[in-house]
Copies of this chain bind each other. A is one copy, B any other.
Amino acid sequence: MARQERAIRTRESILEAMASLFVEVGYEAATIAALLERTGLTRGALYFHFPTKEAMARGVLARAVTREGVRPQKHKLQEWVDLGLLLAHRLPREPMLRAAVQLSVDPKARSLFGTRWPDWIDVGEDLLVEAGKRGELLPHAVPAEIARLAVGAWTGVQLVTEVLPENRDLSEEISRLYRLILPAVARPGILAELDLSPCRGERLLGPAADAGAPVADGTPA
């Protein structure tokens, strides 16, 4: 049992080291040799867990679509926003998520493994369809279109934020993005009740949220 736990932890640390490499130099330039140097593992030990670089990339991508931290809210639109704000909070802190985004963007990796964008769009669309049934959306808002555009816009804002020299906070930028698009999505009465603040992602993951503090019922803080 202890051995199995250690194996799981080794596997996880390999994935994390490879994720960091993908982030730093891109899929194509990330080599097994650099990974071995970074982890101190032997080639044999590595191959026990992952036969190829491709297998590691698949392992990273499998972690990419996550609803961790999203909990039921008064408005379904709030859950949709929470998805994006949580990811904005976690991405700069988790190389695994950054690597997954990077692999989706890299043309070579993308041609080998595809991307998780369709999965993200599906998750968002489901929430928006439900929001529509509850009367939260403006009459002309089309859930499938909004879900698709939002995944694109989110991805691009993340990319550009990472590159610009100003070193902006991703949560601030994604919060601004939602303030930019939600007036064309939400009915005004609902919009006024949504919490779009940049610190929402952090609060949803924090201990206060676990205790059922106001943040969990969709009340703007």
A residues at B contact (CB < 8 Å): 23-26, 28-29, 102, 104-108, 110, 114-115, 117-118, 145-146, 148-149, 151-161, 163-165, 173, 176-177, 179-185
Contacts and interface: CB of A to CB of B under 8 A. Distances in A.
Contact of A105 (B114, B153, B159): B159
Contact of A156 (B102, B154, B164): B154
A165 B121 CA distance: 13
Contacts of A185: 180
A175 to B, nearest CB: 11
Contacts of A156: 151-159
A184 B164 CA distance: 24
B155 A149 contact: no
A25 B163 contact: no
